[in-house]
């Protein structure tokens, strides 16, 4: 039965850090409120739903989650999934669409509960860091491209990131000068605050300033679109409705969000726990995320996720526990109760600009450069994933990312590194690339295979060993197989080992195995393979024992071929000249 510990992100409560957490919570609220309002532009839901993600879901994770740092709220990745997948079954922005986004949150919560019960937190590890960089970069391209028209006061057109960018380029002559000017001013405020005073909430300053200006100069009557009326008060709790015709699409969308939440939340929580030397409990975070999404569904908002951007905001502000999150929720509650009317004056172009900046932040150029420098294959995975997300969609990008990551891993195992042991006076024992003429001792080659042996690489293993025997010719008398890097052998590989051992006997070679685990020997024995001779724990012991065995064999052979005294006398008589 699943046990749930409460308030792990809050307790123990450190009084010395309480003031820092309260201040960090206020700072986080100032930064997160305009951000989640911007996410509603991505998800095509009312502005107030963004504020709702900072209320009940935040409270739910603070009570049931395990992480002290992870901020759970609206996120651009899951918002983009909603927009890309649900528009086919409901008109974006309609009440039916909003109900559908809440129903998806309910399904995501149910999936996370099931994953918690089955203790599937480890599945987050199957989306590699390179794939996640590509996924978020693709989402960033998608988000930024989608808001480019809003910055210029143009209607959004085109499906897919590149089609939207092309559409904007074709209509540059229709740009609204007022919208562009306001967008440039907002960008200047955000960039200026980041450059000269990073702790200042540039987005919030821009939001407040443009609300005041809009109310004073009546922007709406001068051709600028505004947010409009925003409901005040607490969200109405209700179960979302889901029609039978929408079920398949809702399940597909929920599965996409589930994978992103599983990978992104786990990666974020792990990174900040390691930074502050705290224990990671992936399954504990899963139950917190599950209940947070159930809370989102009941409160009429959309899917919530562990947000890397807001978690970084909190960490930079000095927040070290969920007390900061509770403080942020209290601020949002005050906004919903008393300050929703002013939000109606907010120009839509301001939200588009904020979302555009968020999209640019998700494009991880630093991560891509590092991948290009350190691991080209993973750089290719990241680029292909980003392009797939931008061109085809988030779900397709996720599937491609997982598939490419697994293929890349299998590729490394399929053609693993193999080495030969060598010894010299300067370096002692060391490994070198496989080549002819490399002997660990007179007549002995020591071969090392650095991966688990399974059906896909067993034939390559056998071919390389036999080729090594052929290359060294009659100089090779014995072979050490260093299997200390092999932890598992499947049935096909075990049968290959049996064939190889038969080939050793046919060629009258002496093989010795180095095995580091008794479990591997037991498994090989179960498959019917038993190494000739005693397996050794270290390569040096194996080489020493095989050298002694070969020396003894040579001595026995020499004694067997040496003529006796009588044979020598007979030979002398036969060779003596006749009288």
Domain encompassing residue 138: 15-147+158-224+248-410
| Residues 455 and 400 reside in one and the same domain | no
Whose tokens are 């409560």? That residue is 13
In a domain, 398, yes or no: yes
| Residues 422 and 438 reside in one and the same domain | yes
In a domain, 353, yes or no: yes
Query: Is a pLDDT exceeding 70 seen at residue 562?
Result: no
Angle at 214 between CA 210 and CA 216, to 5 degrees: 115
| Residues 370 and 426 reside in one and the same domain | no
Q: Is the distance from CB of 463 to CB of 498 less than 8 angstroms?
A: no
Average of per-residue pLDDT across 271-286: 83
In a domain, 240, yes or no: no
| Residues 23 and 64 reside in one and the same domain | yes
Out of 7-21, 116-130, 261-275, 387-401, least confident range: 116-130
- The last residue of a domain, from among 348, 379, 410: 410
- The last residue of a domain, from among 394, 410, 426: 410
Specify the pLDDT at position 571: 40
Specify the pLDDT at position 559: 64
In a domain, 522, yes or no: yes
Q: What is the pLDDT of residues 528-549, one digit of tens each?
A: 888 877 889 899 999 999 999 8
Confidence of residue 305 (pLDDT cuts 50, 70, 90): very high
Specify the pLDDT at position 54: 96
Lookup: tokens for 71: 């901020």
| Residues 325 and 220 reside in one and the same domain | yes
Q: What is the pLDDT of residues 138-197, one digit of tens each?
A: 888 888 888 899 899 898 888 778 888 999 999 999 999 999 999 999 999 989 988 898
Specify the pLDDT at position 577: 40
In a domain, 79, yes or no: yes
Q: Could you say which DSSP state residue 433 is in? A: E
Query: Is a pLDDT exceeding 50 seen at residue 106?
Result: yes
Specify the pLDDT at position 13: 82
Specify the pLDDT at position 140: 83
In a domain, 567, yes or no: no
| Residues 310 and 444 reside in one and the same domain | no
Query: Is a pLDDT exceeding 60 seen at residue 1?
Result: no
| Residues 280 and 401 reside in one and the same domain | yes
| Residues 337 and 455 reside in one and the same domain | no
| Residues 375 and 486 reside in one and the same domain | no
Out of 81-90, 178-187, 478-487, 567-576, least confident range: 567-576
Query: Is a pLDDT exceeding 90 seen at residue 4?
Result: no
| Residues 392 and 258 reside in one and the same domain | yes
Confidence of residue 372 (pLDDT cuts 50, 70, 90): very high
Question: Which are the contacts of 246, defined by CB distance < 8 A and separation ≥ 6?
Answer: 89, 90, 100, 103
Query: Is a pLDDT exceeding 70 seen at residue 557?
Result: no
Length of the chain: 579
Specify the pLDDT at position 492: 92
- Higher-confidence position of 356 and 268: 356
CATH, residue 493: 3.30.750.24
Long-range contacts (CB closer than 8 Å, 24 or more residues apart) made by 550-553 = 550/443, 550/444, 550/477, 550/478, 550/510, 553/510
In a domain, 1, yes or no: no
d(CA 204, CA 200): 9
Average of per-residue pLDDT across 24-28: 89
Specify the pLDDT at position 573: 45
Average predicted confidence (pLDDT) for the chain: 87
d(CA 101, CA 204): 26
Q: What is the pLDDT of residues 187-220, one digit of tens each?
A: 999 899 888 987 788 888 898 999 999 999 999 8
Confidence of residue 565 (pLDDT cuts 50, 70, 90): very low
Average of per-residue pLDDT across 419-448: 91
The rounded percent of the chain whose pLDDT value lies above 70 is 94
- The last residue of a domain, from among 353, 385, 410: 410
Out of 397-406, 468-477, 484-493, 538-547, least confident range: 397-406
Specify the pLDDT at position 393: 75
Residue 444: beta bridge partners?
441, 478
In a domain, 229, yes or no: no
Query: Is a pLDDT exceeding 60 seen at residue 570?
Result: no
| Residues 214 and 268 reside in one and the same domain | yes
Whose tokens are 């709790």? That residue is 237
Looking at the structure of the chain, the number of domains it has is 2
Q: Is the distance from CB of 169 to CB of 416 less than 8 angstroms?
A: no
Question: Which are the contacts of 263, defined by CB distance < 8 A and separation ≥ 6?
Answer: 124, 127, 132, 135
Strand intervals (E) in 49-169: 72-73
Q: Could you say which DSSP state residue 247 is in? A: H
| Residues 372 and 458 reside in one and the same domain | no
Specify the pLDDT at position 566: 54
């Amino acid at each position: 039965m699943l046990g749930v510990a409460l308030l792990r992100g809050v307790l123990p409560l450190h009084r010395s850090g309480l003031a820092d957490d309260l201040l960090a919570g206020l700072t986080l609220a100032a930064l997160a409120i305009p951000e989640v309002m911007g996410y509603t532009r991505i998800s095509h839901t009312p502005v107030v739903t963004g504020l709702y993600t900072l209320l009940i879901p935040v409270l739910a994770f603070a009570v049931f989650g395990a992480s002290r740092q992870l901020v759970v709220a609206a996120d651009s990745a899951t918002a983009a999934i909603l927009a890309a997948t649900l528009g086919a079954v409901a008109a974006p922005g309609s009440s039916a669409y909003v109900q559908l986004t809440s129903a998806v949150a309910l399904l995501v919560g149910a999936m996370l509960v099931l994953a918690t019960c089955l203790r599937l937190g480890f599945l987050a590890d199957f989306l590699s860091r390179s794939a996640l960089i590509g996924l978020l970069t693709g989402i960033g391209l998608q988000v930024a491209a989608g808001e480019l028209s809003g910055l210029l006061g143009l209607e959004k057109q085109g499906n897919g990131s590149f089609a939207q960018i092309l559409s904007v380029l074709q209509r540059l002559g229709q740009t609204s000068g007022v919208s562009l000017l306001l967008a440039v001013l907002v960008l200047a405020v955000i960039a200026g605050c980041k450059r000269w005073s990073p702790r200042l909430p540039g987005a919030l300053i821009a939001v407040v300033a443009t609300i005041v200006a809009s109310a004073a100069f009546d922007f709406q009557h001068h051709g600028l679109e505004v947010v409009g009326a925003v409901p005040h008060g607490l969200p109405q709790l209700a179960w979302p409705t889901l029609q039978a015709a929408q079920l398949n699409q809702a399940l597909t969308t929920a599965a996409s969000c589930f994978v992103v939440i599983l990978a992104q939340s786990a990666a974020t929580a792990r990174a900040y726990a390691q930074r502050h030397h705290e224990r990671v409990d992936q399954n504990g975070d899963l139950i917190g995320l599950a209940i947070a999404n159930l809370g989102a569904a009941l409160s009429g908002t959309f899917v919530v996720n562990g947000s890397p951007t807001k978690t970084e905001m909190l960490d930079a502000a000095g927040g070290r526990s969920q007390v900061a999150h509770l403080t942020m929720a209290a601020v949002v509650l005050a906004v919903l109760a008393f300050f929703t009317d002013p939000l109606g004056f907010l120009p839509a172009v301001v939200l588009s600009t904020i979302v555009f900046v968020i999209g640019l932040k998700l494009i991880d150029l630093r991560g891509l450069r590092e991948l290009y420098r350190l691991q080209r294959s993973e750089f290719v995975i990241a680029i292909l994933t980003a392009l797939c997300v931008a061109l085809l969609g988030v779900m397709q990008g996720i599937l491609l990312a997982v598939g490419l990551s697994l293929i890349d891993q299998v590729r490394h195992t399929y053609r693993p590194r193999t080495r030969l042991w060598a010894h010299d006076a300067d370096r002692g024992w060391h490994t070198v690339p496989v080549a002819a003429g490399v002997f660990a001792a007179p007549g002995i080659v020591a071969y090392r295979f650095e991966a688990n042996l399974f059906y896909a690489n067993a034939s390559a293993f056998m071919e390389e060993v036999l080729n090594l025997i052929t290359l060294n010719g009659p100089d090779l008398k014995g072979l050490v197989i260093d299997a200390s890097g092999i932890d598992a052998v499947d049935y096909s590989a075990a049968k290959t080992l049996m064939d190889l051992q038969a080939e050793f006997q046919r060629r009258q070679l002496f093989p010795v195995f180095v095995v580091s685990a008794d479990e591997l020997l037991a498994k090989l024995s179960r498959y019917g393979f038993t190494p000739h001779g005693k397996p050794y724990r270290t390569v040096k012991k194996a080489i020493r024992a095989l050298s002694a065995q070969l020396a003894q064999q040579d001595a026995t052979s020499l004694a067997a071929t040496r003529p006796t005294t009588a044979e020598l006398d007979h030979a002398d008589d036969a060779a003596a000249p006749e009288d």
